Amino acid sequence: MSPDEIQQAQTLMSNGELQALYDLLRPFIEQNEPNALLFYSSFTLDDWNESDEVFMQRSFSNLQQASKAGLAEASYQLAAHYLYGEDTFDLQQATHYFENAIEQHHPLAEFTYGYSLYYGLNGLTADQERGLRLLKSASSQGVEGADDVLADIKAS
């Protein structure tokens, strides 16, 4: 997808124009284009009559393909699903996808994983040194809340 097509898809998504979004994405989905798969993982249409289970399977499959193709946002979304999902919690998978996103300098992945590492949350073994590095990187990229976390760490 070109940058203009991605922007158009974002606008359609923001406006809730899901049928028009699907129409735009369809040829790219058929080509397994990573950005199209990322968008396609996040919505369904009423006339598809997808159950929650079928939607989740499609969503995960599309995110996995987009992540494998190198899309950091897809890796981040998978990591968050695996770390915070009730039915999808898998620390090993969460760590794998966080590491993928972090390798690509995804700021929210650095913040989320850095926070969990620093404090040893969500089943992770605390690693304050690496957690702090990730939090500082997220802060330098303007992630909301990162400066506050760093201030709290400094104050403690």
Contacts within 8 Å (CB) and 24+ apart, 126-131: none
**114/125 same-domain check:** yes
The predicted pLDDT at position 49 comes to: 95
Domain range holding 125? 72-156
**59/90 same-domain check:** no
Pick the closest to residue 134 from 156, 112, 104 (CA basis). Answer: 112
**112/156 same-domain check:** yes
**143/88 same-domain check:** yes
Is the separation of the CB atoms in 67 and 74 below 8 Å? yes
Question: Can you tell me the distance from the alpha carbon of 117 to that of 86, in angstroms, rounded to the nearest whole number?
Answer: 20
The predicted pLDDT at position 7 comes to: 98
pLDDT (tens, 9 = 90+) of the chain, 156 residues, equals 999 999 999 999 999 999 999 999 999 999 999 999 999 999 999 999 999 999 999 999 999 999 999 999 999 999 999 998 878 889 999 999 999 999 999 999 999 999 999 999 989 999 999 999 999 999 999 999 999 999 999 998
**11/37 same-domain check:** yes
